[in-house]
Amino acid sequence: MVDPITGVSTNKNLSAMNYYAYRLMILANEWNVILKCRRLFQQFAVDMYVKVETERLAFIRFNQANLRSEDYIHLRDAIHSDGDVQSIGRLTIRPLSYIIERELELSKKPKDRHDIIA
């Protein structure tokens, strides 16, 4: 890719989230067909949200070593104190999951909170 102003070759990578955020921007003096198509826009926004979240979760899953998941001592201790390792499943650290769980009342599930799920 070459910068049109300077003529210098660049190697810029763009995340899916940044790309779709740009596509959904309301720009002055430009007509954005995506924003004018009501139901189609809603479906597009949901699909792109799912795509970005899938990409984010895949990054977390495949980069556990880079996220220093072994440093979470309390989780490691819980695994070692529990006798049945098979009941635990696969350990994957999800950074923001505790925030969502904290927002829920004790008797409610995520599907009961429409402001959390799409």
Q: Are 88 and 82 in contact (CB under 8 A)?
A: yes
Q: Across the chain, what does the average pLDDT equal?
A: 73
Average pLDDT over residues 68-96: 62
- Residue 67 or residue 2, greater confidence: 67
What is the average pLDDT across 10-14? 74
For residue 118, the model assigns a pLDDT of 46
Are 70 and 76 within 8 A, CB to CB?
Answer: yes
The residues, any chain, with a CB within 8 Å of residue 37's CB and separated by 6 or more, are 44
For residues 13 and 55, what is the distance between their CA atoms, to the nearest angstrom? 15
* Number of neighbours of residue 35 by Cβ within 10 angstroms: 14
* pLDDT surpasses 60 at 84: no
Residue 2: strand, helix, or coil? strand
